[in-house]
Structure 1
C-alpha cells in the first residue's frame, strides 16, 4: 500500500505492478540508474498567458497537463515534477526497463502530436482571444542519475538529479533557437535503436561543458 501511495499518482499502474511483483523497490537513500530524462515546455508561455485571465490560464494548464502526462504514463515513464508550465519525466525509474530511451522518444513524438491537437482546443475554448499558435519544445538525454528521496525531513520528494537532468533541460531550452520541436542527444538516439526518423543535426555548446554536444532533431520513430 505504501508503494501505491508513493508512486500511484506519478507512474502508470503497470509500473507499480512491476515494482510490487519484483520486490525491487527504489532505495530511499538514493541509487544510481541509467535513465532517459525528458523535459517539455510551452514556448512563449508569457505572451500566451497575457491573452487570458488568470482563471483561464489555470484552466488551460489543467487541460494541457493531462494531455502531456498521458503519453508519459503509457510508455512507462514517471512524471517527476511540474516546473511552472514545464514537465520533467523520467524513463527507467523507479522501474528499471532496458528500452527506456526508445520509450521516451515514442512519448516525445506523441506529445508533439498532442500539442497540435491542443491548439485546436485552445482556439475553440477561447474563441476571440487571438490565440494564433501553440508550440512546445522537448529535450531528451540518456545517462546516469541519482534517484531517491531528496529534500528536508518535513518535505521529501522522490526525484532524479545529476548532469543527465541538466543536459535534458538545456536541450529543451535550445529547441526554440534551433527551431526544432524534439531535440535529442546522440546518447538517446544510439540507445533507442533502429527506426528513429532524424531531421537536422547540430553541435551545441552547453553551459558548464567544455566540449560541444551532438544533438539531433527527432521527427518520428517507427517499429
Structure 2
C-alpha cells in the first residue's frame, strides 16, 4: 500500500478495528453462554460429569463471563478503545480457555479446538499483527496445557507429534489469517486511492463542466479530454458592457465581489445546460457546447443558455438595485462550426480549450451585441432545434472576412 493510500485509509481501519472488537465482544459473550448451556446440559440432563468438575467449570464460565461483560461495557457501551486492547483481550481469552480446559481433560479435551476459533475471530480486528499475536497466545496456552498434563495427569497428555501439529497449525492459521487481512487492507487501500484520485480529477474537471459531464468523461471517454481533436461545436461568448469605466469607479474589493457574484449566477446556468466553461478573460465568459463530449443538440443548448443568462441577469440587477449597487448589462453571441479541441500548455500546466476561426468569429460577433441582446449566427440558427424567435439583422462586416456576416437577434 502506498504512503498516500495508508494515510487515507488509516482512519477507516482504526474505526473498523474498533468495530471488529465490538463484534468479537458480542461473539465472546455468545460463546461463553454456549459453554455454560452445554455444561448445564451434560451435568443435569446427561449426568456425564461429577459435581466437583461441574462447580469448577461454572466458576471459570462465571469469571470469563464477568470479564467479557466488563470489556463489552467498556468498548461497546462506553466507546472506549485503545489499540493495545486487542492484544490484552486476546491474551486474556487464551488464559481463560487454558483455565477452562485445565479443569477438564487438558489438551485432549474436545473443547481444545476452541483455540482455533479464537484465532478466526481475531481476524475481525483487521490487524495482521493482532491476528498473529492471538495465534501465538493460543499456541502458548495449548503448550501450557500439555505441560500441565504431563506434570499432573500424564494420561491426558497428547503425543509429542500431535502437540507439534497443533502448535504449527495454530501459528500457520494465524499467519494465513493475518495475510488475508493484509491483502484486504491493500485492496481497500487501492480502492480508496483510485476513488480519491477520481474525485480529485472530477473536482478539477468540474471547474470546466458540470459534475455530471465530468463523471461521464472519467467513466469512459477520458481520451477525448486528453487528446486533441477536430470537433463541431457551438461557442457562446458573453461580455459585460461598460465594464472598464465601471471598474475605474469601484474599489477593487467591491469589484471582485461583484464579479464573483455575477459569475456564480452565470456558471450555474452554463452547467445546467451542460456547457463547458472554457475560460474567463476579464469579465468575458467563453463557453463551449459539443466538447469534450459530443452533443448533437449543442446549438440548441447554447441558445437556450444564452437566453437564460440574460433573463437571470434581470434578477441579478433587481438585487443590485435593492442594495444600491451598480447594475450590469451583457452582450452575448452564439456561433457554431469546426474547432480544434484539446489540452494546450506545458507538462506543468495545461488547459483544455478550443481554437479556430469559429472562436474568432464568435468573439467578433459578441463585440457587436448590445447589452441585453443575444446574437446568433446563421450557422447556429440553422442547426438549432426549438421554438426560437429571431429578428434578422443587416449583414455586417467583421475583421478577417471579405463577405458580410449574416446574424440574427434572439427574441426571448
Question: Is the contact made by 2:335 and 2:377 (CA closer than 8 Å) also made in structure 1?
Answer: yes
| 2:248 counterpart of 1:50 | yes
TM-score (norm 1): 0.89
Q: Which residue of 2 aligns with 1:60?
A: 258
2:290 and 2:221 map into 1 onto residues whose CA distance is 16
1:180 and 1:118 map into 2 onto residues whose CA distance is 13
| Residue 53 of structure 1, CA deviation | 1.3
| Residue 155 of structure 1, CA deviation | 2.2
Deviates further, 160-169 or 197-206: 197-206
Q: Which residue of 1 aligns with 2:388?
A: 196
Aligned counterpart for 1:121 among listed residues 306, 315, 319:
319
TM-aligned CA distance change 1:73 to 1:184, over 3 Å: same
Once the two structures are superposed, residues 193-221 of structure 1 have per-residue CA deviations (whole angstroms, 9 ceiling, x without a partner) of 2411112422111111111111000113x
Q: Which residue of 1 aligns with 2:291?
A: 93
Q: Which residue of 2 aligns with 1:181?
A: 373
Question: Is the contact made by 2:300 and 2:386 (CA closer than 8 Å) also made in structure 1?
Answer: no
| 2:410 counterpart of 1:218 | yes
Q: 3-state SS of the aligned residue for 1:4?
A: helix
TM-aligned CA distance change 1:21 to 1:135, over 3 Å: same
Question: Is the contact made by 1:150 and 1:159 (CA closer than 8 Å) also made in structure 2?
Answer: yes
2:214 and 2:346 map into 1 onto residues whose CA distance is 25
Q: Which residue of 1 aligns with 2:358?
A: 164
Bigger relative contact order (CA 8 A; separation at least 6): 1
Question: Is the contact made by 1:200 and 1:216 (CA closer than 8 Å) also made in structure 2?
Answer: yes
| Residue 3 of structure 1, CA deviation | 4.5
TM-aligned CA distance change 1:116 to 1:27, over 3 Å: closer
TM-aligned CA distance change 1:83 to 1:135, over 3 Å: same
Question: Is the contact made by 1:25 and 1:94 (CA closer than 8 Å) also made in structure 2?
Answer: no
Q: 3-state SS of the aligned residue for 1:202?
A: coil
**Number of residue pairs the alignment of both structures matches:** 214
TM-score (norm 2): 0.49
Deviates further, 9-18 or 81-90: 9-18
- Aligned-CA RMSD value: 1.8
